[in-house]
Structure 1
Amino acid sequence: MLVRRFKKSLLVLSIAASATVAHAESFNRIASFGVIHNLPEGTEQSQETSPEIIAASEDGNTLVYSDSPFEALGFVDISDAKNPVAGGIVKLDGEPTSVAIGGKTVFTAVNTSKSYTQPSGYLMALGLQERDELVRCDLGGQPDSVAVSKDGRYVAVAIENERDEDLNDGEMPQLPAGWVTIVPVENGQLQCDKMTKVDMTGLAEIGATDPEPEFVDFNSRNEIVVTLQENNYLAIIDAASGKLVNHFSAGSVELQGIDTKKDKMLDFTDSQTRLREPDSVKWLDDNRFVIANEGDMNGGARGFTIFHKDGRMLFESGASFEHQVILAGHYPEKRSGKKGSEPEGVAIGQFDGETYIFILSERASVIGVYRDTGDAPEFVQLLPSGMAPESAVVIPQRNLLVSANEKDLIEDKGPRAHVMLYSLTDAPAAYPQIISTRTSEGTPIGWGALSGLTADPAKPGMLYAVNDSFYANQPTIFTIDANQTPAKITAATLVLRDGKTAKKLDLEGIAADGQGGFWLASEGKTSKEIPHAIHHVNSTGEIDRTIDFPKALLANEKKYGAEGITLIGDTLWIAIQRPWKDDPADQVKLLAYNLKTNSWGAVRYPLESAATGWVGLSEIVSHGDQVYIIERDNQLGESAVVKRLYSVSQDQLKPAAIGSDLPLVKKVLVHDFMPDLKSLNGYVQDKIEGFTVDAAGNGFAITDNDGVDDSSGETLFFSIGKM
């Protein structure tokens, strides 16, 4: 799909505020399929791919997705849902914008436009099994969404004729105008000569001469609902006659408790009135439909709305969906000044007699699952998705949900694009593994990019974490109660200097001092005037002591600094992530600072070799007579190899002076994190950065989600048991 990049009801309904509603059944991810595996032999793996719109065959065994960058349709065999198999591709002579399946026929709309002012495209029918072209219809404009009626008699196409966003700041109108095309189907064959063109001009108050239909969907009465996103408008069309049944504004929403500033902080105390500007739309039944309010030009209401086809608004989620995103640590702070989490896709499915609503957040990379009650939908759970879920398809007869995640970060060496599968079973929800609670005022505690972890010396299951410089204007210590599932962030303590938010910090390590305070390790970047330093804070988060790295050490600085800190007796031990100039290529320093003598020293630690990228340290924690150290490579997905926990006996920690010949310690492998990182059946996260051992001797680990920036936002938090 080409997606750019009435009056208020007196009744505003709310969704349950809890992060997860307990139910006997839950959806869990069972498989992920990287669509690069569908590239033909000989194709460079650097080829961008993007599964955008996805459809399933009637038997639920075959998936078909549109891949615009590769100008192809991709096929996936999911006969064994837990082990998807590449089914190959069908190359097209243009950019597929959408795909739908009716019976044994695949329908796809293809954009062949030469320019914004010369839009063109066609609708093609292919055999699902033979994959041969059956017929194509010239659409006369640039298509977007495609839908096939439940009885297979009609195909509807939204002819968007999208505007040039760089022309006059994207202001409308920009002709030619769009419309909706309805193509009859007889015996599985498109009847191109019987197409109906439904004029959409003159309806909306916004851009009346330039409608841009975005998404279409059929109910069982062969009525088509269509969103006009930029026009903030909705219309209902009778497919048989091609006549408008009804049309009305999508309206606006008053949002409370949102973040509206891109400022490296999470502050959910703002309010704003926004046009809905819906993208995807799906019928709930023959009278009600759901819209995802992504926004485009001047809107984006960060949630979803249920309308009756007569124009009545039946339900508005307001900021409640985004609050669920926040509680799970998936809030995309960099989008605060725009449209927040941007709900874009909607799917509807009936499972075991219950109707579920699935809301896909493009920027937060999650899927909200709701149960339709006929009134206010009941929030069920939040599912982790791949990068930027664009669409989803339900396969109720197999208890499956499938998402197409369009973002391919090949140029940034980030996650590749995936199709992900979920199953509804009796098992409890596996994700999220950690969530936050709300403040006494009801505001969700925002969190993300957790980097260091430590434990309360006296209270089993009570942990503390810090965030890194992604939230440079909000360095925070988070209190975590790991005695429940999922673990809960119950408090957030701002790190202060002279009573004000501390600046120039990149917190990567934390160690409890045993007296209610903490030692914090800040990774420096001299080029950005962030000093390499150790800070002590009291129980209120106030910095009361700072220890700068010595000049002898900084003389050999490289940009990777402190990544973990622990306290052994009177000595602080700090793990440096990667070798500096005076280190051998395969060794890195463990720094020591004696709090009584105020003297620095170090030992060297041997690193594993990296087949790709680099290997470095992420954490250090003392327990018993050992120190435990996380060693990881900087790879993710299928390239990830080294994600391990090693131990070093404390009797080896005999530091020598900085600049002298440093002793090399010996390490012992304790735990391989790769099975843990694969346990949720997504792609392997690269940054496992926090580890600690609680007062009961249990080891806990956590991943850094990079503030949901070029990341799916997933945070894995788990215990590896007794140490």
Structure 2
Amino acid sequence: MSFRITAASIVAFAAAMPAFAQSFDRVASFPTALNSPEAEESSAEIITATADGMTLIYSDSPAGVIGMIDITDPTDPQPMGEIGLDGEPTAVSALGGTVFVGVNTSESFVEPSGRLAHYVVATGELAGECDLGGQPDSTAVAPDGSFVTVAIENERDEDAGDGRVPQMPAGWVAIIPLDADGMMQCDAQIRADVTGLAEIAPEDPEPEFVDVSEAGEIVVTLQENNHIVVLNAAGEVLSHFSAGAVDLEGVDALDDNALSFTDSLTGVVREPDGIQWIDTDHFVTANEGDMDGGSRGFTVFRKDGTVVHESGPSFEHAVIQIGHYPDGRSDAKGVEPEGMEFAVFNGTPMLFLLSERGSVTGVYDMTDPANPVLVQLLPSGISPEGVVAIPERGLFAVANEVDLRGDGGIGAHVMIYELGEDAPSYPMLTSAGAEELIGWGAISGMVAGEPGTVYAVNDSFYVGSPTIYTIDVTQSPARITDAIAIDFGDVNMDMEGIALDGEGNFWVATEGNLENERYNAFYHVTAAGEIVREIRIPEELEAVQTNSGFEGVALIDGVLWGAQQRPWADDAENTTKLISFNLETEEWGAVVYPLETPETGWIGLSEITLHGDHVYLIERDNQIGEAARVKHITRVPVAELQPAPLGGEYPVVTKEVVRDVLPDLLQTNGYAQDKVEGLAIFEDGTVWVSTDNDGVDDHSGETLFWSFQLN
């Protein structure tokens, strides 16, 4: 089957978003490092909750523990410590106040081993453990508490045999009965045989994810085999079928640092990962893909294998519209739906679908399994892996696995969301409702245009598609209504700033990097996207520049002013320059801007824009999360912009801090983003600010786009 995106379908999606009367918002973010302060790396992968909904438990593979979080107050989660394991935790499933943990103890791919451990959450006491005889992946407890089941994957070695199945030993599904007290009956363990079923490597099934229905039936995905199996509690096969394939249109199939959704893919095998029952006859798969596929969406099946609904590229398109599309995965599996959860909130059956690479949770109303309705998209940490719903408290929580602290980035988080009456706070910026599908990200510079309109540019992450975006800020969320593709030819652009030329066209500033043959320069760009003039900085400046150059541009009385991000070789410590070019005389000049002294890392400029008698700038450090300190909007009197000729003594301007935006960066209850980069100010003093999401590369993809009023 094929799926085509049209203007009508985009508008329909935008109109459908408010279908659910209430909405979720993130209320807290919990760093896993609080539970594992001594670990060099920690993570939150699979997550569950105790029956009272007051404690979250997550698997932390790098630290070799399971971590626990007290969410008695979900807005103020507290660390409860961790339970150390002699092995790698792969999954957790709670029953009452206890938790079952799949523990991988394999010595190698060909000698897999593992156990299922059972702990009392409040005390950390080991209540029991069963030898599984192989490498566990996912776990699930029957709703009636009668058994626990484990997908024994015995995963393949991706470096052996071209990374393909078959690679023995084969996997199976373990089913362990529980007694009336919830204790495991290891001697009664069933090892359900699922070999000989799939068309792909039938001798080597690799069970990936399991779930149990209210009727006590087990469904399991064989991801690498592109197959689905339904079992009863005795391990007998009730049905099995291929997960099938999908034809996709309107996708980006190339990792080329460009947002272009015009490709088609034929016969993409689903290769589902996560799976959830939504009633006793239907379940949903998250079609992440592995060896050959990944259809970028989800599918609703009847348990007999009938496809009831196929999302096609619609989920991915929705992620594209909020700026979370990971172009670096275009040639692989796109947004990669992986984990999911199903629960009923206030009588409405809801599916929570995780995009591993887009770092988004899609919330669907599943009242009609044949017609799921997307009601929300919520931001996450980097690479959401697991999700648990606590409907009796109106909560759900997402475990995000990536820890980038070793590279100066953010650590792993568990994020908590609550159902409420207010309108959702995210997304703050979207292209939903535009006549065509508009992809965007890496917003790096902005300028106020006619009332209600902001123009923005993307940076060199999208070197293959430099674009000027038109944003309608009179709507909530703000809407990208148009995208002007720049005809860049052989110009290597890293657009970091934009200004109006007063005649309906633009000036953009690009940041230089001579190693990449990219120059610090001003470009005159028409409203049609044609470059009509290049003004490259002179040789005496190129001789002292570093790879931190222009980060903004303003046009003041016929003079272009570029904000130099950080000190160059001719600058004193903790100073940078505002560099000028007179369009009439073609003379260059500069003034000195004094920077704050960083506690760690660096501090520099990220924007410059004109308003009234001042130029306003963004001065920020490069720190993220709790390490962030300086995220300021400052201003300098225009009267002090008296440039001295290059090579001499430059006058030092006086700066004034107008606003500390660090509190603003926490308004969605996430962590403080590092890159505050866009600033636009209207004549009435309304200020719009945006963050740069780095093209969703080692980034959550979250873009904050908000306004305030100058005093």
Q: TM-score range by the shorter chain?
A: over 0.9
Q: 2:538 corresponds to which residue?
A: 550
1:496, 1:502 within 8 Å by CA — same for their partners in 2?
A: no
Deviation at 1:254, TM superposition (A): 1.1
Q: 1:190 corresponds to which residue?
A: 184
Deviation at 1:553, TM superposition (A): 1.3
1:467 to 458, 464, 483: 458
Q: 1:570 corresponds to which residue?
A: 558
Q: 1:386 corresponds to which residue?
A: 381
Q: How far, CA to CA, are the matches of 2:698 and 2:149 in structure 1? A: 34
Q: Deviations over 1:137-174 (max 9, x none)?
A: 11110000000111111000000000000112211110
Give the counterpart letter for 2:642 in structure 1. K
Deviation at 1:412, TM superposition (A): 2.0
Q: 1:646 corresponds to which residue?
A: 634
Q: Deviations over 1:578-635 (max 9, x none)?
A: 0001101111000111111110110001101111100000000110001101000000
Query: Does residue 1:407 correspond to 2:402, yes or no?
Result: yes
Q: How far, CA to CA, are the matches of 2:503 and 2:378 in structure 1? A: 39
Give the counterpart letter for 1:24 in structure 2. A
Q: Deviations over 1:669-692 (max 9, x none)?
A: 101111110000111110000101
User: Partner of 1:190: helix, strand, or coil?
Assistant: coil
Query: Does residue 1:28 correspond to 2:16, yes or no?
Result: no
Query: Does residue 1:277 correspond to 2:268, yes or no?
Result: no
Query: Does residue 1:376 correspond to 2:371, yes or no?
Result: yes
Q: 1:210 corresponds to which residue?
A: 204
User: Partner of 1:677: helix, strand, or coil?
Assistant: helix
Q: 1:4 corresponds to which residue?
A: none
Q: How far, CA to CA, are the matches of 1:672 and 1:120 in structure 2? A: 54
Q: 1:495 corresponds to which residue?
A: 486
2:611, 2:683 within 8 Å by CA — same for their partners in 1?
A: no
1:462, 1:694 within 8 Å by CA — same for their partners in 2?
A: no
Q: 1:140 corresponds to which residue?
A: 133
Q: Deviations over 1:170-211 (max 9, x none)?
A: 111100000000000111211000000100100000010000
Q: How far, CA to CA, are the matches of 1:493 and 1:379 in structure 2? A: 29
Q: Counterparts in 2 of 1:87-126, with a 5 A limit?
A: 87-126=80-119
Query: Does residue 1:363 correspond to 2:357, yes or no?
Result: yes
Q: Counterparts in 2 of 1:626-641, with a 5 A limit?
A: 626-641=614-629
Query: Does residue 1:174 correspond to 2:167, yes or no?
Result: yes
Q: How far, CA to CA, are the matches of 1:318 and 1:695 in structure 2? A: 45
Deviation at 1:103, TM superposition (A): 1.6
Give the counterpart letter for 2:14 in structure 1. S
Q: Which runs of 5+ in 1 are unaligned?
A: 1-7
Query: Does residue 1:259 correspond to 2:247, yes or no?
Result: no
2:611, 2:682 within 8 Å by CA — same for their partners in 1?
A: no
Q: 1:525 corresponds to which residue?
A: 513
Q: 1:127 corresponds to which residue?
A: 120
Q: How far, CA to CA, are the matches of 1:592 and 1:19 in structure 2? A: 47
User: Partner of 1:360: helix, strand, or coil?
Assistant: strand
2:428, 2:478 within 8 Å by CA — same for their partners in 1?
A: yes
Q: How far, CA to CA, are the matches of 1:559 and 1:189 in structure 2? A: 61
Query: Does residue 1:657 correspond to 2:645, yes or no?
Result: yes
Give the counterpart letter for 1:572 in structure 2. L
2:421 to 426, 429, 436: 426
1:395 to 385, 390, 399: 390
Q: How far, CA to CA, are the matches of 1:444 and 1:415 in structure 2? A: 31
User: Partner of 1:21: helix, strand, or coil?
Assistant: helix
1:103, 1:152 within 8 Å by CA — same for their partners in 2?
A: no
User: Partner of 2:679: helix, strand, or coil?
Assistant: strand
Q: 2:148 corresponds to which residue?
A: 155
1:19, 1:435 within 8 Å by CA — same for their partners in 2?
A: no
Give the counterpart letter for 1:346 in structure 2. M
TM normalised by structure 2 equals 0.97
2:2, 2:312 within 8 Å by CA — same for their partners in 1?
A: no
User: Partner of 1:52: helix, strand, or coil?
Assistant: coil
Q: 2:331 corresponds to which residue?
A: 337
Q: Deviations over 1:336-381 (max 9, x none)?
A: 0000000001111111111111110000000001101223011101
Q: How far, CA to CA, are the matches of 1:592 and 1:216 in structure 2? A: 63
Q: How far, CA to CA, are the matches of 2:434 and 2:478 in structure 1? A: 16
TM normalised by structure 1 equals 0.96
Give the counterpart letter for 2:328 in structure 1. K
Q: How far, CA to CA, are the matches of 1:105 and 1:437 in structure 2? A: 44
Q: How far, CA to CA, are the matches of 1:626 and 1:135 in structure 2? A: 69
Give the counterpart letter for 1:243 in structure 2. E
Q: How far, CA to CA, are the matches of 2:683 and 2:659 in structure 1? A: 20
Give the counterpart letter for 2:26 in structure 1. R
User: Partner of 2:46: helix, strand, or coil?
Assistant: strand
Q: 2:707 corresponds to which residue?
A: 719
Q: How far, CA to CA, are the matches of 1:87 and 1:172 in structure 2? A: 41
Q: Counterparts in 2 of 1:301-316, with a 5 A limit?
A: 301-316=295-310
Deviation at 1:405, TM superposition (A): 0.4
User: Partner of 2:76: helix, strand, or coil?
Assistant: coil
Give the counterpart letter for 1:489 in structure 2. I
Q: How far, CA to CA, are the matches of 1:599 and 1:438 in structure 2? A: 45
Structure 1 residues 69, 202: closer, same or farther in 2, change over 3 A?
same
2:670 to 651, 667, 682: 682
Q: How far, CA to CA, are the matches of 2:63 and 2:16 in structure 1? A: 38
Deviation at 1:444, TM superposition (A): 1.2
Deviation at 1:694, TM superposition (A): 2.0
Deviation at 1:391, TM superposition (A): 0.9
User: Partner of 1:564: helix, strand, or coil?
Assistant: strand
Q: How far, CA to CA, are the matches of 2:682 and 2:654 in structure 1? A: 25
Q: 1:3 corresponds to which residue?
A: none
1:19, 1:327 within 8 Å by CA — same for their partners in 2?
A: no
Q: Deviations over 1:81-130 (max 9, x none)?
A: 00000010000000010000112221001000000000000001111222
1:31, 1:682 within 8 Å by CA — same for their partners in 2?
A: yes
Q: Deviations over 1:274-305 (max 9, x none)?
A: 10000000110111111100000001000001
User: Partner of 2:13: helix, strand, or coil?
Assistant: coil
User: Partner of 1:306: helix, strand, or coil?
Assistant: strand
Q: How far, CA to CA, are the matches of 2:495 and 2:567 in structure 1? A: 19
Q: 1:479 corresponds to which residue?
A: 470
Deviation at 1:20, TM superposition (A): 6.2
Deviation at 1:17, TM superposition (A): 2.3
2:52, 2:96 within 8 Å by CA — same for their partners in 1?
A: no
Q: How far, CA to CA, are the matches of 1:409 and 1:439 in structure 2? A: 35
Q: 1:580 corresponds to which residue?
A: 568
The count of aligned residue pairs is: 704
Q: How far, CA to CA, are the matches of 2:202 and 2:650 in structure 1? A: 74
Q: How far, CA to CA, are the matches of 1:154 and 1:437 in structure 2? A: 45
Q: How far, CA to CA, are the matches of 1:150 and 1:130 in structure 2? A: 24
User: Partner of 1:207: helix, strand, or coil?
Assistant: coil
Q: How far, CA to CA, are the matches of 1:275 and 1:538 in structure 2? A: 44
2:401, 2:412 within 8 Å by CA — same for their partners in 1?
A: yes
Give the counterpart letter for 1:575 in structure 2. A
Q: 1:5 corresponds to which residue?
A: none
Q: How far, CA to CA, are the matches of 2:352 and 2:36 in structure 1? A: 29
Deviation at 1:720, TM superposition (A): 1.4
